[in-house]
Amino acid sequence: MRRVLAAAAIILSAGTAFGESVGTIQMQYSSWYGNGTGTTIHWLDDASHLHSDKTLVGLGRFNKTAGTGVGALFANGQLSVFCKDLYHTLYQPKATYDVVPLSAAPNGKPISPDRIALFQELFGRHYTGLFSGSESDKKNKAESFGLCVWELMNETGGTLDVKTGPGFWTGYGNTTVTSTANGWLASLDGQGPKWNVYALVAPGGHQDFMIARVPEPATLVNLLAGGALGLGWLVYRRRRSREPARSRQ
């Protein structure tokens, strides 16, 4: 079992396969990024049945070759992604993935609005830092982020902790990874920056991923919109003032 995640985005369009698709990404699996030792994880499925598996932790690297809508915002080439689900296999052939809001992702457990908000803050606070530091640091952080995603997807208890259940937990012996993951989860207080986070839906019910992108500042958008309206009004008034007076009949 190999799993993955990576990037957020701005809604550009609506419509296609799931009724809320906002784009597509064409990509193919390339390589895995993490410490490579793997660990045993435990989780409950939708019917509260307990599962256990040994799997790699970290992120997957895909080669992106094309995209539409939101998918076109990501450059072609290497795209890093974290897996969303724990009981779907990774699809390695080249394929086109739909980009959909997390609330519309068809695989795995339904994601509540409060958990979606936590995903948005997780990306906003910690995603950009994944790719800085030594090679060892980056691998550890990739694994920490992956564990955070699985915890937010699967934990059913009141405490977010990758080392304890009942919904998800791991006995991973790399305490640097698990303590970093728990520190990041503890930092999600609703006050941090939030990115727009989406699911990448694989063909045939295979592994879904997440992507994320910094949203455009609403204040800037409003200012630009307001400025355009104001400029249009000034141009209109100037044109009206230059028109000759019309006689009334």
User: Mean pLDDT across the stretch 148-175?
Assistant: 96
pLDDT reported for residue 88 = 81
Sheet holding 39-44, edge to edge: 50-55, 39-44, 168-170
CA–CA gap between residue 148 and residue 162 (Å, rounded) = 7
pLDDT reported for residue 217 = 65
Q: How far apart are the first and last CA of the chain?
A: 83
Return the minimum-mean-pLDDT range out of 12-21, 42-51, 110-119.
12-21
Residue 117 has pLDDT above 80, yes or no: yes
Q: Would you call 248 helix, strand, or coil by DSSP?
A: coil
User: Mean pLDDT across the stretch 44-66?
Assistant: 93
pTM of the model: 0.80
Q: Are 102 and 111 in contact (CB under 8 A)?
A: yes
Q: Are 162 and 151 in contact (CB under 8 A)?
A: yes
Q: pLDDT tier at 235 (50, 70, 90 boundaries)?
A: very low
Residue 238 tokens read as 């100037």
The answer to whether the bond into 166 is cis (omega within 30° of 0) is yes
User: Mean pLDDT across the stretch 163-171?
Assistant: 97
pLDDT reported for residue 16 = 39
User: Mean pLDDT across the stretch 220-241?
Assistant: 40
Q: Where are the domains of the chain?
A: 23-222
How many residues make up the chain in this entry? 249
Question: Is 204 exposed, middle or buried (CB count within 10 Å of its CB: 0-12, 13-18, 19+)?
Answer: exposed
pLDDT reported for residue 90 = 82
Higher pLDDT, 105 or 15: 105
Nearest Cα neighbor of 185 from 146, 219, 136, 213 is 146
Higher pLDDT, 9 or 79: 79
Q: What's the angle, vertex CA 34, arms to CA 33 and CA 37, rounded to 5?
A: 130
Return the minimum-mean-pLDDT range out of 22-31, 148-157, 201-210.
201-210
